[in-house]
Amino acid sequence: MQPFIRSGKHAAALAATLVLVVDSGVLAAVPEAGRPPAALQRPALAVARPAAANLQAIARTGNRLVAAGERGLIIYSDDSGRHWTQARVPVSVTVTALRFAATAGGNAREGWAVGNMGVVLRTTDGGASWIRVFDGAAAAGLAVQAARQAWDSVKPDPSETEHPLNRLLDDARRLADEGADKPFLDIAQRADGSVWVVGAYGLAFSTADGGRTWHARMKDLPNPEGVTWYGIASRGQERYLFGEQGALLRAAAQDGAFAAQASPAAGSLFGSLALDDGSLLLFGLRGKVYRSGQPGAPWSTVQTPVDASLVSGVQLPDGTALLLGSAGQIVASRDGGRSFNVLPLQPRFPFAGAAVAPDGTLVIVGARGLLRMAPPGRAAGISTMRAARP
């Protein structure tokens, strides 16, 4: 995943624009800035071999696996990944992340997906069908309207190019001109049912009513340079936002405010993994891993034997932590993330995510589709895993 780069001034003005717009706001009451791009209106096309397509995310809900990727492709399996059915999806943009609500039985029907062009999708049938509840075109319309209202209230001299309201209006117009091209990259659902989505250039929104209305959260997130948020991590009541250039924010409680935290990373953080023992791993550029043993504990740097970016992680039933790399490597830890070794694996291609199927199979997604790994059983047996196409 390549970093998104924008000047701090531009990003800060964009954030201010969206804060002015949405905080009170009913999304449906604000017109969009022009017609949405065709990809936001065109349903995903049927794919002959969906398990071989470019897939960017996978999640498990109960006994079902759901995977998603390019051009709006979302597929689901009820037999541990042996066979897949394509879901009904109303857009044809790449889907970057999936999340399903946590329930006592672990069989949530409600789920969320985000992707390119600022799209947010929702399902209430376990991933078999989806609806669009938010997108970048709507966000651009909100930004332009709020910037114009703020400018009209003062009417600064247009020649004062550095006046905050002139910059605000200029950035809003630029956002509309660029169109719905800003991706969301992660989702989190809180215990109260509210959902957060985050992504490029510091964008962050939340909904508490199933996607009918949205609120901007940029004003709540210290991010003066407008860096991209790659993910949201949760550990008990504790929450983290992490992203480009090692940016790291922490909220001590689910409903608490985010505050900047000294980051252990100089490079971008792409993924996180909360382990059953209470530790939390952050990882990213050049194979770097950082571990915090308990809520509020400091971060320690963990050396790994890989140099490529680590982008996703999963914990196996026996407690083993696996981190997946953008160059097709998998590193494993059997001591709570304190040390890692590389697993020999063929074939290798850019990996994006993994989930443990109901039968114990490890299902990996990436640029060349899906791999099903033989159930690892005991931790010592992981080194002998074999890959098989579904």
pLDDT along the chain (390 residues), means of 10: 35 34 33 64 94 96 96 97 97 96 69 96 97 85 68 86 70 69 91 89 87 82 87 94 97 89 96 97 97 94 95 95 95 96 86 96 95 62 46
Considering the domain architecture, whether residues 104 and 219 belong to the same structural domain is answered as no
Considering the domain architecture, whether residues 337 and 214 belong to the same structural domain is answered as yes
Considering the domain architecture, whether residues 223 and 259 belong to the same structural domain is answered as yes
Q: Let me know if residue 390 belongs to a domain.
A: no
Q: Let me know if residue 11 belongs to a domain.
A: no
Q: What is the pLDDT of residue 101?
A: 82
3-state secondary structure of 3: coil
Segments forming the whole domain that contains residue 99: 43-133+351-376
For the entire predicted model, the pTM comes to: 0.82
DSSP string, 20-69: HHHTT--GGGS--SSPPPHHHHSPPPP-SSGGGS-EEEEEEETTEEEEEE
Q: Let me know if residue 386 belongs to a domain.
A: no
3-state secondary structure of 171: helix
3-state secondary structure of 148: helix
Considering the domain architecture, whether residues 338 and 259 belong to the same structural domain is answered as yes
DSSP string, 304-349: -S--SPEEEEEE-TTS-EEEEETTS-EEEESSTTS--EEPP-SS--
d(CA 92, CA 78): 24
Amino acid, res. 252: A
Considering the domain architecture, whether residues 292 and 355 belong to the same structural domain is answered as no
Considering the domain architecture, whether residues 238 and 318 belong to the same structural domain is answered as yes
Q: What is the pLDDT of residue 78?
A: 97
Q: What is the pLDDT of residue 171?
A: 60
Q: Confirm if 283 and 233 have CB atoms less than 8 A apart.
A: no
Q: Let me know if residue 32 belongs to a domain.
A: no
Considering the domain architecture, whether residues 257 and 304 belong to the same structural domain is answered as yes
3-state secondary structure of 71: helix
Considering the domain architecture, whether residues 213 and 118 belong to the same structural domain is answered as no
Considering the domain architecture, whether residues 361 and 295 belong to the same structural domain is answered as no
Q: Residue 228 maps to which CATH number? A: 2.130.10.10
Considering the domain architecture, whether residues 104 and 52 belong to the same structural domain is answered as yes
Considering the domain architecture, whether residues 125 and 238 belong to the same structural domain is answered as no
Q: Confirm if 265 and 271 have CB atoms less than 8 A apart.
A: no
Q: Let me know if residue 251 belongs to a domain.
A: yes
Q: Let me know if residue 4 belongs to a domain.
A: no
Considering the domain architecture, whether residues 196 and 106 belong to the same structural domain is answered as no
Q: Let me know if residue 22 belongs to a domain.
A: no
Residues near 315 by beta carbon (within 8 Å), at least 6 away in sequence: 273, 275, 276, 321, 322
What is the DSSP-derived secondary structure letter of residue 373?
E
State the total domains in the chain: 2
Q: What is the pLDDT of residue 234?
A: 93
Q: Let me know if residue 261 belongs to a domain.
A: yes
Residues near 205 by beta carbon (within 8 Å), at least 6 away in sequence: 22, 134, 139, 196, 197, 214, 215, 216, 217
